[in-house]
Structure 1
Amino acid sequence: MILSIETSIHICSVALHDLEGNLLALHELHEQRKHAERLTLLVEAVLNTTQTKFSELKAIAVGSGAGSYTGLRIGVSTAKGLCTGLNIPLIGIPSLQAWSLSMIDLANDLENQALEKVEKEQKIKTKYLLCPLMDARRMEVFTAIFDTELNYILNDTALVIDEDSFGKQLSENKILFFGDNEEKLQKCKAVINNPNAIFISNKLPSAKEIGKLAIKKFNQQDFEDLAYFEPNYGKEFYTTAKQLPVTNY
């Protein structure tokens, strides 16, 4: 089994998957600045829910950023500590890529609907891309662009959003934008103001996607060096999402 941790934003998320990729448990806390005091409790809750022993874990996966300096530091330190104590490998997963995984089904559905219209009207097929917008204060975001195979179109970067942002990509594709701060997402929508830009609310990073991507890396024996692995901090930022209760699955 693989235990996964995601702490790149205000959410503290822990998941457990079996080696076939099935989600066994997910515990999340949607509350700011609670990672340090709650992360290990969530790990224990996930293991207790599934009656799993630490000795049964085969690897620990962790979101490697970009994102919150404090959140990533706590998540990665916890993951490395578990790996060292249990003598199991560490798997690093880019947080923006894992977040985009949660949007693939929607993008494929929209692309199929567009394809049906194309076939009727004999137009050029529209391609849908995925673009997470992680709040980095003011009008800056941590972002990247992926296709629906999770290949990078634009590598992880910090970007100040203005009316010219993503202009080339939007001229040729539809892009699904999604963010961790609803107010910031709506500001970006107003600034970008492009008919090919589709903004999706209420889609947040989760350890369940970290775990899904970790299965492939585990099978390929693609592990991190515990001594040298560091997250992609980008820059420290703060979130303003309201507090929500713990959600258990």
Structure 2
Amino acid sequence: MIIDPLYALSGLAVGAIVGLTGVGGGSLMTPLLILLFGIHPTTAVGTDLLYAATTKSAGTLAHGRNQVIDWKVVARLAAGSVPAAIITVWLLSQSGVQTTAVSHTISLVLGAMLMLTALTIFFRPQLAAFAARRGELSPIAQTILTVLFGAIIGVLVSISSVGAGAVGVTVLMMLYPRMPTIRIVGSDIAHAVPLTLVAGIGHWAIGSIDWSLLASLLVGSIPGILIASHFAPRVKDGVLRALLGIVLTLVGLKLLFS
């Protein structure tokens, strides 16, 4: 398996952004592969899903050791997302993964998810404040809405590989306003592992994984995340998030209207 330096460098850059902001893995990697390197959308999504499953497994281990994962919330999300991911990938396989129609659909969904991710980055503090003022939902409502949200994310992530991060955290903040942020982030990362793994295996089964590309991205991204995480406390988070939101908006518009 040959490591491509350009892909590894891209992985390093995206890994650094994730390490600094906690956001931007799939949101940047998939459009980067499509727009900059000309990778077919289905292959970009499938490869990025297994890339996310690998990197977020390490994050889950770290958060698990720190006991900041709410496994009940993870189970509720997975109850909706995993079946939805299986059904979505099956429907993609029936449509023909390399067809123009599927490619166009993936680009549109990806563009829309990037725009939604940018909005959650810009307005997360306001949304969290609104949820805190509204108060806690009933346990039954929380359970139903969490499973339903999991199903929606399962569909969207299987098509675009985007949505389990920034969007997931923001929605969980709305549903569980009393839960500490670190616990919400830990639970969201833990849920992303089975979701991206199941969706990624599904894409593997239909032949939309580039293993050399995956290896090259991981070679760059793992040190990128580790190095950037070390310097993250010294960087102004607000500025980085604003820049990331602007970039995601521009890329999303490019995909929607290209």
Give the TM-score, by structure 2 length.
0.29
Which has the larger strand fraction? 1
Q: Which has the larger radius of gyration?
A: 1
Q: Which has the higher contact order (CA 8 A, sep 6+)?
A: 2
Give the TM-score, by structure 1 length.
0.29
